[in-house]
Structures are given as structure tokens and as C-alpha cells.
Structure 1
């Protein structure tokens, strides 16, 4: 393992007894290398606050790495260098949130060990960018890093402090007022008689800040929550090769309070000019931000969308001025410690005094502006109620998605449409429950050209990368990328619509139900063992899966009705029940089912259900029959009725935990809940295309059908229906990206009602235009219509979605 950058020998004023430290760590950290281990200590040179060290522990020819963070030596300002709070927040975030932080091992307040209090944490091997301009990256890399930074800051601000035990971590109201008071005192303590002289401009800035504290600061419920306090790019560790954050460091200034102060502090590079500033380069850009670095407005838009907070235009001047002021006060303290000989920052500390004066001047310039931000972008304008943030900038696909769309359309035209007749004939043959060899050939071609697993959203792709890190699980194969393109739901909608134009297309690109939903479950909720056994072959497309929830004896649209039992017996679960419409179970490649059943009928209504993995060849799994949809049995994939009779599976097959079936079901419906709607738009587009072609070529009563007034009116109505439904689907996908399932549920419900209704109307018109041929298997229309009609039930009955919409409307009326 190569030594990470930014390291140097320990500075003389920060040296400590390494052997005493080694003995202490061996005594308190479980699994720490025992005697006769060796220790080598290096110091991280980056940063100006608490000294931080890399511990290299040698034992039996192996090396282990830890990071130690301690208070600086000497007399310290009151409340400064609170490493105990850092340790507390690491513990809370590391075990109960998705905020990326290193694992902490111990906290030592016994100053006799190394001279000050300290804690030890995990060493995160990765990249630290000290230049916010990211000159070493491509423009695309810079853009991706900034998006990851915005998303990470939003994840911190979304943390439920009461749920993770940080409810008493600080006062939530009057944060900015307290910040102004605190740093004013720190500044006054660092300057004056016998110390560096005070800057009159700084005193004027303090007065301005005290007179312009936003009204929202006194309200604990508005913008209040966990605040990092020093969130900037050089306090983040990025993955060694991927543009995602794996650790947020330096929580010394963290507390509860006004979170917009964090955002403004993070945006200081937009206000600090490195060529004018005497301070460290990691605070600003060289005149302007390099290509690829988003503008301040673009970055703020990403943050506000991810954090689901209002646009801060009216108060932005104050927050930026406060951030610059605070950094100026910190710099004044660094300069004082430099003069006293105990600064932890090393190089640059001698310039900290000049840097403080530059920051003060810059802050006053910002304070005197009328506004530092334009009005809210339209895509962030919001209204009260459940529905927010419709993207009024439009749903035009990005250049990258346009390239994928062109590639996908070409693939469909060259390989899917010309072979539909072959697939249909095979599905109607005596050998229909086998896989046509052409399907496997086309799948390999799709991998080769990068049209594989396009359904996997960006967050799930990152999750999979994290899950598989360091494992030989084959993220790459020799012909393609298994984790898709990292698209948003909105981006994927454009591609999914194209796939929906053929009933045979989704499986060619490994974007078919129920496998997409099942893979999502394994990505989010599966154990490492479950992922290795089932997720990898599903991602590769070498096996298929089924989802068994619906039952013939109960109304399964209300999942609390399910009767299939999942009972714990020692180290196994025994499953008994009857399921039907288990899509994919007839496929000879189907190797595993996700089964939903009741594990505890005495629990709360939505805690009775669990989900468990059942192998198709497990004793007691009996396929009763394939089911037909308007006469179609959808061979070779099919929909099976299955009996589970005393099926015994290991406890390790349980997903997430007993009673968490509904929780998994909601997660499974995340990105997948709109896929059917997206495909239905594509089916309708295929229908209207065939309808146009037929009308132009077919003659009736001495005129082409296209020349008949009845047809032209029908065609126009179909186009209106398609565009309306498409906009509803794209809006729902966009809301799902911006706000998640809960806020987007109204938009999703509308799309789920409108899309199948629209598809049925358009396809029926296309069938009518084709006459008798339309209901035959010579055209794909009848099959598309049957599939669309099924989705009015399979994707949740219309009545359920309408009930959701009605409840939301009534809730708005009560606001």
C-alpha cells in the first residue's frame, strides 16, 4: 500500500510518546495488532486546526493503517479544538445514516498518554482535492465531483438528529447570532494588546452581521439541523477512482443550527480569488472557475434539489459574509498560534494574518451588494402541499442520453423489430418454454455496445460499486459494463420508452420485470452473501428471477391480506402458501424467487410481512401451471401459479429482517415504479407509428385511410393523449429524482392511471385502423394491447392510485 499524499514527518512541537500510544491502543481497540507490533507515525500537513497523524502499525510482515487526531499543544482558546464532539458525531453518523464517515475506534481523554486528548479512526484510502478548481481532472470529472459534493452535503443536512442520538448536540435556534458572537470573541481574543493589531474593517463587519441576522435564524424548525461547520472540498475523501465521496472529515465545528451557513461556507471559492488572496489555494479559484466546475447557481440548484430546501436568494449575502467572517476569525487565531509557535498548519501560517484582512474586505463587498443571487431557478420554484419542484426547464434529454437514445433506436431497428416474428413463432411453438438462441446472441451484442442494465439509477450503481469494492465479483466483463450508465429516473425514461416499443426488447437489455425490481432489492437490502450468489448472475443476465406476492384466494392489491406463511424453525424458515402471477417463474433460467409472506400475524398490520429468497429447485416448490393474458402465455418467461408446501430455506435467505416486507416493497418500487409507465408510452408510440403507416398505404372507398376525416381526427386525438401521458410520466420521474417516493407519490399515481389508459386508447385506434389484421398475430398490436390492459391491474389497480390522489387533494384542502 503506497503512502498517501499530504504526509510529512511529525513536526517537533507535535511529537509524542509513540510507544505509550501503541501500548494504549493494543489495550483498548479489539483486534489491534498485538505485541511485538511496531509503530511509525507521519503527520498530515494539510489543515490548520487539530493535528492529524497516520499510524502505520507493522505486525507479522503486514501493515495496518489508522488515523489519530488530537488537540494541539499549548494554551487553547475556550471551546476550540473540541475533538470529543468530532468523535461523538462520527459514532452517530457512522452507524445510523448514509453520510460517509470513517469508523472510529476509541476516544482518549487521558492526557498522560500523548499529552493531549485524542481519538483514533479508520484510515480512508482515497483522493483529497486541495484545489477547488480541480485542475487535475477533466471538465466532466470536475462536474461529477461537484455533484457528489452537493449530494453529500445534502445527506448531512437530511440526517434526523433526534433519531440518531444527536438531538442535544446543540441549540437549533439563533445559530447565526451565536456564530457572530462566538467568532467575534475569538477574533478579539486573538488580537489586541500584546497580539496582532485589530482590523477596523473587521469591527465594521461584525457590526453589520449583528444587524442583518435573518429572521429565519430564530426559528428552530426552519433550515435547522446538523451543521458540519467546515464543509469544503479539501475536507472530503473521494474514492480512489470514482467521483464519489467516501468520507467527510474535520467535524470539529459541527453542531446543530442553521444549515444554510454550511452551504455558504462551501461556496466560498466562488468569492475568493487565489491570485489576489495571500491565503491557501484550497479556498478559491484563480480568477474564474475552470471549465466543468458548475456556476454557484448551478451548484446551489443541485444542493437545494437534493436537500429539498428553498432557494436562499434573499439571505444569501448574509450567509456568505458570515462564512468569510468566520474564516477570517479562524485565520486570525491561526496567525496568533503561529507567532506563539504551536500552529498545526505549518506552511502558510505566517500569511494567515494577511489572509484574515483579505477575507474581511471581501466579506464587506458581499455585504454591500443588493443581492448575491438571482431569483430561484424555475425548476426549484415550489408550492405548498405534496407536489413540488416540477422541472420547468423542460425534459429534453442531455447530450449523453441523446447518444444512448440514437444507439438504442439503431439497435431496435437493426435487431429487435426484424426478429419479432421469429420470437413470436418460437413463443407459439411446442418448444416455447425454451430460450431462443437469438435472444442470448442479442444480449451479448447489447453488452458489447453498452446498452446493458440501463435501468440501474446512479445511486444504486454507486451502492453496487461500494458493495463490490475489493471483491472479485466481476464488475466488468469482457464485453460491457454491468452497472449501467448511472442514469437518473428522468434520463432512463427516454430510453425505457424506446424499449417499450417491443414486448421482446426489455429482456435483451436486461431491463425487464421482475428482474429489475429484484436486483434493486438485492442491491439495497441483500447481504453480501445474497448479493454474491444471486445479484452478480442477475446483473450478468445469466439467470432470471421471479417475484411471488399475489395470491389467488385474497385481494392482493391490499398486501396486508396475504396469507402465505413464513415461520421460523431453528436455523430455517418454513414456507407454506399458494401464489400466482409470479412473472418469470416459467423461464428455464429462473433460479430464485423473492417471496412475500406473513412471519408474525400478531405484529402491527404492516410489520407482519417479510420477504425471503427461495430457490426454484427447493423441495416443496411446485409449479401448478402457466397463466395466460388474453390467451398469451408470454413464453418462454411466463406467469406461474406456484404452491409452496413445507418449503424449508436457511435463515440467511431472509431479506433485511422479519417484519420488514412492506419496507422492502416500497424500496423495490423506487425506480421500478415508473418503468411500466415509461414502456407504455413507447408501446403507444409504436402503435401510432403503425397506425400512420397503415393509413397512408391502405385504400378504402377510393381514398387512403389518411384522407378520411374520421381517421385524421382520431390520429390527432391519439397524439394529444400520448403527449399528455408522456409529460405526466416525465414529471413523475423528475419528482422521483428530486424528492424521492414520498413527495412524488401523487405524480406517480397520476402517471400510473394515465399511461395505461392512454396506451389502450391509442393501441385500440391502431388496431381499428388495421381492421381484422390488427387483432391477429401478424402485427404486434394485439400483444401490446394485452400487455397494456394487464398493467391497469399488475402495476396497482387504478382504484388504488385514484384513492391516493384523492387523499392528497383532501389533505391540501385542510392546509
Structure 2
């Protein structure tokens, strides 16, 4: 046998080979070539490339991942859980993960528990700035990263056997206590010194946990260490073929994964120090801004824009990173850190991340109030497994992007003016700019989106024999809507709901929509001509147009149901 690496921690190679021959399908029998070499990147569970072959045969490559030697912190380095989640995802979803072959819990084989998985031929980008790549590749790689995280977060844990993989609610609350305890364990009783600012940070985090954490509204499968250097990209194509390093995976608040991958925008965590991140040091050409990347993810994963919670999630990420680095430094002092001499600097990194957290907390603004427009997710959403989620069609995505752009360019700049009018004595009058925006919305095809496709078909049949000939002569006026289902319209309501005035400007505001829908479904031709056409054109509001003689009590019940739907 040839090529045994000196950094293989003195494995019993014969014992390892015997185990693999019995438990890894297709493993070469009686190999004449065996080489074990440790991957140099990463400070977590020691990971090795295992090359095995016999005379005249192709050398096969595998990856061995094991627990570190020595005494470990409680619940850390759980290779058993890594194996479980990789097996569940690999067998039941399209989430890109390497295939796992076997898990060995018997420390007698090589000294610690370990598992064997396939070796993925591909590229790993250590630096999130992606030096040496063309701008288009950088852009694609970041979109692929957002897509991969959204795909992971869309996995239905109950259907793939991971329903008991962790608790879904109070994730951040429990994580704060866990990593606070780990930090104390790594920096007390004669160990490396602790940083007083860390304990103040812990206190701040405890008092700023978002309500969505306790409710489980953002819960699902969490990777726990999702960053670009834990992704394997295809050798020649800019797409992800595998997510690595699942040691910290569990069920919990998925926004923690999102903030963690975004840390590189805020701070550059090097081998020896923490420097300014890409948003202040300068974005390499092709890499999206933090808001653009975040908007891409939110669109694909169906998340709301996290402007109110973002400061907490990023500060939490720095806090957790600081605790992890403190643990690595503690292991280095003991002589069993997997990162070798590079671990010498992790105390500096831990303290640098504590400072970074406080600097971020003290910022006045950490995200724009609204997501940027123009996020191109039309191809990516359809690639995601549905898993019970609504996947908008290309038609709906085009409308969504037009809504976002319209609101950014026309509605948000006028919100203060509209608000002033609503608080004045003239609050029942219509602002002149509102009428202009309504006309513009018609021309943009963002008008009456609420009209169900079947109701529009009925109205066309009754009024116009299926044609639009009697409607406005402006060909851009889609007075009977865009032909959406209620589910598609509901998806767009989330974006229109970012402004109090948007539904009114798009002629999609309650109670008008409920009143109009009753007429569309139940009205006769005379009622539609007298009341509905002016309503559809936005010339009158239904609250003034409809009085008791026009709407029977049964219709009122229907209206109420329509408004609530």
C-alpha cells in the first residue's frame, strides 16, 4: 500500500479497509493502493480524501468524515446527525448533497465514529469575492447559492423522515443559551480569557429575539453553516452539485442560515483577522448587493422582506461564529484542533466577530425598507420542488416584478403626501397624484388583478359576447384583470400589501373588490353596465355607488365572504 498521509492521525488502516470492504458498496477488494490525506480547509470535523484501488483498476475516491480526537464539548461534532440528514435528503429530495454509504459508531475501527460518502469532483470557492472569475459567472454563482438555500429550506421534513430532527420553535432562544454555554466552557477555569463584550452581546440578543422565532413561522430544516465554501460547484458549470458540512444542522429558524451566508457582505473573516466586508470594501463586478441577494432568496423561498428582524439575525450570526472560534481556540490550546496552526488565530477572530456584532447593532439602517426591484427569479422558482408550496408561474412573476418596480418608482415616493392628506380635514378627498397613478397602473397592466379568471369570462360573455369591444378604447386597459386565479392573486397581494395605498391605486382594495366580485358573479347586464363598468374603470368607489336598493341582504353576505377570502 502506498501514500499514507502523516496527518491521518495514525489510523489503523487495515481495520478501516476491512470495515469499508464490508459496508461500502463497490469498494475495491484487497486494494493494492490506498492513500488517506486530510483536507486542509475548515476547522470542524476532520475530513479526509480516501483513494483506493487494485492492480490495473481505476482508483476510486471516497470522503471520510470523523469526530475529532480527545474530549469534546457536549453535542458538538455529531457525525451521526450529519449522516442522517444527508441520507434523508439524498434519498427523498432534489437538494444537492453527496451520497452517503455507511456510518460507523464503533470507535474501535479508527478511534472515533465516522462515516463514508462519495467524493464530488467539482470546485469549491474559498473566497466569497470569487477572484479570477468573470462577472457573469460570479452573478450566476450567487444566484445558484440563493437557489440552493431556498431549495434546502423548501424540504418537507415530515415527509422525508426528519420531523423529529429538532424542535422547530424558539430556535434562536435555545441557540443563544447553547452557544453562551459553549463560550463559557471554552473560556473559563484556566482556559483562554473571555471577552466582557460577549456577555453584553448575549444579553442584547436575549432581549431582541423576533416573534417569528417563538411561533415557528420561519421554521424548517436549518443547515447551520451555510456559506459558499461549503458548496461544491460543477467542474465546468456554475451550478451547485453538493452541500457539505452538516454538523450544525437541525430544525429551527431558517433565517439564521440566510443571515449567515450574508455575513461576507458585512465582514471579511480571514485566517488571521476580521476586516470590512464586501458592502464597504467594494463589491467585485457581477456579485449582487446584499439586498439583491436577499431579495432573490426571499422570492424563491416565499419569505417576507426581513427589514425589521435583520439586525438581530446578523448579530446572532456573529455571536455564534465568535463562540465557535472560541471553541476552536480552546481545542488548539489543548492540541487537538483539526485546523492545525491556523487555529492559533481563532481567538483574534472570535473577538473580531464580537466587535463586528456590536458595530452592526449600532448602525441606524441595515436594510432598505423595501426589496430592490428587478430580481430575476422566473427560471429558478420552477426548478424548486413544490413540497406543498405555491410556485408562481412566469406570468405571475412578471406581474410581481412590475408591481415591485411600480411601487418603488411611484407609490413609495408619494406615501408621505398621501399620509398627510389622510390626517387632514380633507381626508375624504382624492389626492390628484392618486388619479394619475391609477391611469399609469392601467397602462402598465396592473389594474383589477383581483378579478378571478372565471368571473372575467362570465362578464365578457354577458356584456360583450366574449369580446372587449365595449370597454375603454385604450388597448392597455386590462379592465377585467390579467386572468389570474385566486391563489395567484393572493401571492401578489403580499407585495401590494407593503403599502397602504397600493391596493387602492391598483383598484384592488377592499371592500370594493368584494362588492365588484358579487356583481361579476351574480349581476345581470343592466347592473353591470350601471355600476360595474364605472367601478372597473375606477371612476367611483363602491362604498358610494352601492346603496341598499342595489344590494340585497343575501348579496351583502356574499360581499362579506368575498372580502374575507
Q: Considering the TM-score relative to the shorter chain, is it more than 0.5?
A: yes
Which of 303, 314, 339 is 1:345 aligned to? 339
* Structure 2 segments unaligned to the other structure (5+ residues): 386-392, 400-452, 454-467, 493-557
8 Å CA contact retained: 2:262, 2:290: yes
8 Å CA contact retained: 1:273, 1:285: no
Give the match for residue 56 of structure 1: 51
Which of 351, 354, 362 is 1:360 aligned to? 354
The structure with the greater share of residues assigned to strand is 1
Aligned pairs for 1:717-756 within 5 A: 720-721=474-475, 724=478, 728=482
Give the CA deviation at 1:493. Answer: 8.5
Give the match for residue 148 of structure 1: 144
Q: Does 1:260 align with 2:255?
A: yes
Q: Does 1:236 align with 2:231?
A: yes
8 Å CA contact retained: 1:9, 1:43: no
Q: What SS does the corresponding residue of 2:321 show, helix, strand or coil? A: helix
Q: Does 1:295 align with 2:289?
A: yes
Q: TM-score, normalised by structure 2?
A: 0.68
Give the CA deviation at 1:224. Answer: 0.7
| Gap change, CA 1:13 and 1:67, over 3 Å in 2 | closer
Q: Does 1:159 align with 2:155?
A: yes
Distance 1:360 1:332 in 2: 11
Give the CA deviation at 1:243. Answer: 1.2
Give the match for residue 394 of structure 2: 489
Aligned pairs for 1:342-421 within 5 A: 342-377=336-371
Aligned pairs for 1:161-240 within 5 A: 161-220=157-216, 222-240=217-235
Q: Which has the larger displacement, 317-326 or 188-197?
A: 188-197
| Gap change, CA 1:315 and 1:163, over 3 Å in 2 | same
Distance 2:23 2:559 in 1: 58
Q: CA RMSD in A?
A: 3.5
Q: Which has the larger displacement, 193-202 or 144-153?
A: 193-202
8 Å CA contact retained: 1:11, 1:43: no
Give the match for residue 271 of structure 1: 266
| Gap change, CA 1:273 and 1:289, over 3 Å in 2 | same
**Quick one: higher RCO (CA 8 Å, sep 6+), 1 or 2?**
2
8 Å CA contact retained: 1:313, 1:374: yes
Distance 1:38 1:714 in 2: 80
Q: What SS does the corresponding residue of 2:293 show, helix, strand or coil? A: helix
Which of 230, 238, 245 is 2:240 aligned to? 245
Q: What SS does the corresponding residue of 2:65 show, helix, strand or coil? A: strand
Aligned pairs for 1:447-458 within 5 A: none
Q: How many residues align?
A: 421
8 Å CA contact retained: 1:38, 1:58: yes
Q: What SS does the corresponding residue of 1:72 show, helix, strand or coil? A: coil
Give the match for residue 124 of structure 2: 128
Give the match for residue 18 of structure 1: 13
Distance 1:726 1:53 in 2: 63
CA deviations over 1:524-547 (Å, ceiling 9, x no partner): xxxxxxxxxxxxxxxxxxxxxxxx
Q: Does 1:119 align with 2:111?
A: no
| Gap change, CA 1:320 and 1:137, over 3 Å in 2 | same
Q: Does 1:68 align with 2:64?
A: yes
8 Å CA contact retained: 1:278, 1:354: yes
| Gap change, CA 1:32 and 1:320, over 3 Å in 2 | same
| Gap change, CA 1:314 and 1:459, over 3 Å in 2 | closer
Distance 1:263 1:458 in 2: 17
CA deviations over 1:165-220 (Å, ceiling 9, x no partner): 11100011110011100001111111123211111111111111112112221112
Distance 2:41 2:475 in 1: 60
| Gap change, CA 1:364 and 1:87, over 3 Å in 2 | same
Q: What SS does the corresponding residue of 1:128 show, helix, strand or coil? A: coil
Give the match for residue 31 of structure 1: 26
Give the CA deviation at 1:12. Answer: 3.8
Q: TM-score, normalised by structure 1?
A: 0.48
